[in-house]
Chains A and B, each alone.
Chain A
Amino acid sequence: MDDDALMAAVAGGDDTALRELFARHAPWLAARLHAALPAADVEDVLQETFLAVWRGAAGYRPELGSAGGWTWGIARRQAALWLRRRGPAELLLPAVIAADGEVTGRPGRPGDTDDPADAALSRAELAAAVSTLGPAGGPQREIWRLMYLEDRTVTEVAELMGVPVGTVKSRAHRVRQLMRAALRHREPARAGGKR
């Protein structure tokens, strides 16, 4: 059975289809989440993710992407929710940046990122990097807060900030550039950094 058929079965209440989906996707999802979260959190987020799949499978549209991509989207949102509840936002950064570069998830390519930032950023480093985005309340800091800390969609952010969607996207691009530069800049000072 292919993923789309399994999703349809899950929407119809078939728990064995969910089991099969879990077998296929949990390993790579876990690996990708593990790049940003400690193992215990990965387990909790993954559990919430698949429960969300169970409840929301009716909302899956095969024509819009793959089941893996859809599930990754849920996982990412669950991770964001999790961190919002638990605290440190810096751990979300690598997952967010890595995931943003992919429109649809590509199953089987866990942890695929060429970004130097990894999960073990310290608060201070992150705070310093964020400060390069400009003063708090400024456009780039707002983009950072709304898109990356609160994980809102582009449309929502556009509405909240009162600017067109295109502006949001280009500002987000700028934010990512600045953050990457700031973090890469700190790379040599850390032992065991990635790359």
Chain B
Amino acid sequence: MNVELSELTRRFGRTEAVAGVDLEAGPGVLGLLGPNGAGKTSLLRMMATVLPPSSGTMRLLGRDPGSFGPRREIRRGLGYLPQNLGYYPGFTVAEFVEYFALLKDMPPRQVPRAVAAAIEHVGMGDKARKKLRTLSGGMLRRVGIAQAIVNEPELLLLDEPTAGLDPEQRVAFRTLLREFGQRATVIVSTHLVEDVAAACSEVTLMDAGKIVFHGTPGELIAAGTGHGVGDAPLERGYTAVLAAARS
């Protein structure tokens, strides 16, 4: 188990962004779905050790991120792509990926090869020495994915990774997800339901800070038969579950 969350809560003032989440995840690709404001980003931030929980327990990669040493160890095996990843305009693609590889405390000898492999993996090999300010939004997103995977993380957290990617690139990205899902825990927060269908082995649906569904995509589809609204089976399951949770 790479992720063990128990009654995890996060409050901002009076509101509970995350209201008591229990979650366990091993290797594989987990899709995190939910409407805006459901708490997906806060949950992801807590797992990325960027946001401290207000209460509850969390174990990541078998360690408790509450203390300095284990947290550092967790972060070495972590890959995170925030929803809004800024970039350094004057850096090249290779410099950017290398910068974060170094900050992830990768052994320096391994860095050049790892950076090259990550850049090629996301299909930016022909732009490796171009400055980031010359790239489009979709390309920048791919660079962001590259920095997330450069240290071959055991826990890969991606917040809306496919924003700005065209359909062809999204297909390639899903292949990458499946590949990483064989060895690592990949948690993808997305509101594009078809991304989930294609790549995830498990799906979690959040609403108002709580988990309202956890199971396979097939089970989500089954929840929607006859009830839900939507064009695709998963969409119907999604809306059906949400409706049930809110009633």
Contacts and interface: CB of A to CB of B under 8 A. Distances in A.
Establish whether A and B are touching in the complex (CB under 8 Å).
yes
Interface of A: 15-16, 19
Interface residues on B, range: under 10
A15 B128 CA distance: 9
A19 B125 CA distance: 8
B129 interface: yes
Contacts of B125: 19
The prevalent SS among residues of A at the interface is helix
Interface of B: 125-126, 128-129
Contacts, number: 5
Nearest to B130: A16
A16 B126 CA distance: 5
Nearest to A15: B129
Contacts of A19: 125-126
A161 B129 CA distance: 49
Contacts of B128: 15
A15 B119 CA distance: 14
Contacts of A16: 126
5 contacts: A15-B128, A15-B129, A16-B126, A19-B125, A19-B126
A15 B120 CA distance: 13
A19 B128 CA distance: 11
B120 to A, nearest CB: 10
A19 B126 CA distance: 8
A19 B119 CA distance: 13
A16 B124 CA distance: 11
B164 to A, nearest CB: 23
A126 B125 CA distance: 44
A14 to B, nearest CB: 9
Contacts of B126: 16, 19
A19 B116 CA distance: 12
